[in-house]
Amino acid sequence: MAVSLPSGPGWKLGIWLALIAAGAAFGQTGSSSRSPATAPAGDDLPSIVTAVSQSGQFVVTGPRPERRRPVENRPASSGDDLRELTPQTLAVSCERVKSEVLRALDLQDQWRARGGRTGKIFVAIDAGLKIDADLSVEAKPFEDGWHLRVQVPVRVTEVRLVRALCHALALELASRKGNQRAGEPPLWFVEALTQSVLSSSPDGIILQPQTRIVASLRVGERFAAVRSRLARQAPLAFHELSQPDLSRMSATDWDHFAACSHLCLRELQRLPDGNARLARWFANMQSHWNWQTGFLEAFQPLFHSLLDVEKWWALAVANFTGRNPEQTWPADFALRKLDEALQPVGILPGAGNRASRLSLEEVVSSWDYARQVPVLRRFLQQLNAILVNAPSDIVPLVYQYSDTIESYLANRAKAGFAPTGRGQAIPSVKLLARETVGRLRELEGERTRLSANPSSQEPKK
> Mean pLDDT of successive 10-residue segments in the chain (461 residues)?
49 32 34 39 71 92 74 45 90 93 90 79 92 87 86 93 95 85 90 92 79 44 77 86 88 92 93 92 89 94 90 85 67 89 70 67 88 87 80 82 84 62 58 91 90 57 44
- Give the predicted TM-score (pTM) of the model: 0.64
Structural domain contains residue 101: yes
Q: What domain count does the chain have?
A: 2
Structural domain contains residue 158: yes
pLDDT for residue 35: 36
> Is 331 found in the same domain as 217?
no
Q: What is the dihedral sign for C-alpha 330, 225, 189, 2? A: positive
> Is 333 found in the same domain as 214?
no
Structural domain contains residue 315: no
> Is 154 found in the same domain as 13?
yes
End-of-domain residue from the set 178, 206, 222: 222
Structural domain contains residue 305: no
> Is 336 found in the same domain as 206?
no
Structural domain contains residue 384: yes
pLDDT for residue 114: 73
Is residue 212 helix, strand or coil?
A: strand
Structural domain contains residue 266: no
> Is 170 found in the same domain as 24?
yes
Reference 182, options 91, 285, 92, 104; nearest CA is 285
pLDDT for residue 416: 58
> Is 97 found in the same domain as 213?
yes
> Is 334 found in the same domain as 209?
no
> Is 210 found in the same domain as 359?
no
pLDDT for residue 32: 37
pLDDT for residue 34: 37
> Is 76 found in the same domain as 205?
yes
Is residue 334 helix, strand or coil?
A: helix
End-of-domain residue from the set 194, 222, 250: 222
Structural domain contains residue 291: no
Domain that holds residue 169: 2-35+45-222
> Is 83 found in the same domain as 197?
yes
pLDDT for residue 223: 78
> Is 344 found in the same domain as 207?
no
Sequence-ordered alpha helix ranges (H) in 174-283: 187-200, 224-232, 238-242, 251-269, 274-283
> Is 202 found in the same domain as 92?
yes
End-of-domain residue from the set 222, 248, 282: 222
